[in-house]
Copies of this chain bind each other. A is one copy, B any other.
Amino acid sequence: MDAKVRLYVDQPLGQGQAVALGADQAHYLFSVMRLAKGAAVALFNGRDGEWRAEVAEAGKRGGVLVCDRQTRALLMPPDLWLLFAPIKKARTDFIVEKAVEMGARRILPVQTRHTNSERIRQDRLQAHAVEAAEQCGGTYVPEVADLVALERLLAGWPEGRRILWCDESLVGAAQGLAGAEPGPWAILIGPEGGFSEGEKAKLRAMPAVLPVSLGPRILRADTAAVAALALWQAALGDWR
């Protein structure tokens, strides 16, 4: 019997490996989804691929699953970070969901001069990333970092990681991804109010930065994130 439920667990997976469930997961599997002893569940932990497991014990406050075979190898996304300025809650959730589906490896909310949001709930966004991975069949969950000031992030920018800078002010002036080399990259999506002049000057001065235009219409940040991820994945990532 094939598994109808996919679950992320933060425990090792392998042949014969027992996986203990917490109260929340037990409630979900046995009360909400009404799985009984012997039912199949698909498990992944972001490291060991996807495993078919069977319910060995089902209780109200916990339970045990036992892995019987690997159903998918681990699919690591390319070494691509997504940097974006948080916007309204629903659209920020959306960006995290889309970044997982589109295969970003790390998600970094950044505070820019014109960012509306002063804080984020990192734990909530991380849970959202787990849910998106469960949904999209992924075997990897990108880490959602804490909010960091763009200026600080750029000041300590890792050598060798290029930045695909998407900005609506770049129409016509942008070079595009043709000729760009694979390797560690980050996509940077601007806030809805645009980057400040100081931020733009800083970005223009960094040799790691490749400016790119996303067409003649103004895109919302969530649209721009998906569009830039698609262009990068097709040119340099695992869609090739």
Contact = CB atoms under 8 A, between A and B. Distances in A.
Interface of A: 75, 98, 101-103, 135-138, 176, 213-220, 223, 226-231, 233-234, 237-239
Contacts of A231: 230-231, 234
Contact of A230 (B135, B137, B218, B230): B230
A116 to B, nearest CB: 16
Contact of A238 (B137, B215, B226): B215
B137 A227 contact: no
Contacts of A239: 213-216
A223 B75 contact: no
Contacts of A102: 215, 217, 219, 223, 227
Contacts of A223: 98, 101-102, 226
Contacts of A215: 102-103, 233, 237-239
A227 B43 CA distance: 28
Nearest to A138: B217
Contacts of A103: 215-217
Nearest to A225: B226
A138 B103 CA distance: 30
B214 A136 contact: no
Given A136-B218, A213-B239, A216-B239, 6 more contacts: A75-B217, A102-B219, A136-B217, A136-B219, A215-B233, A226-B230
B75 A216 contact: yes
Contacts of A228: 230
A81 to B, nearest CB: 17
Which of A103, A135, A176, A215 neighbours the largest number of chain B CB atoms within 10 Å of its CB? A215
A44 to B, nearest CB: 13
A101 B230 contact: no
A193 to B, nearest CB: 14
Contacts of A214: 230, 239
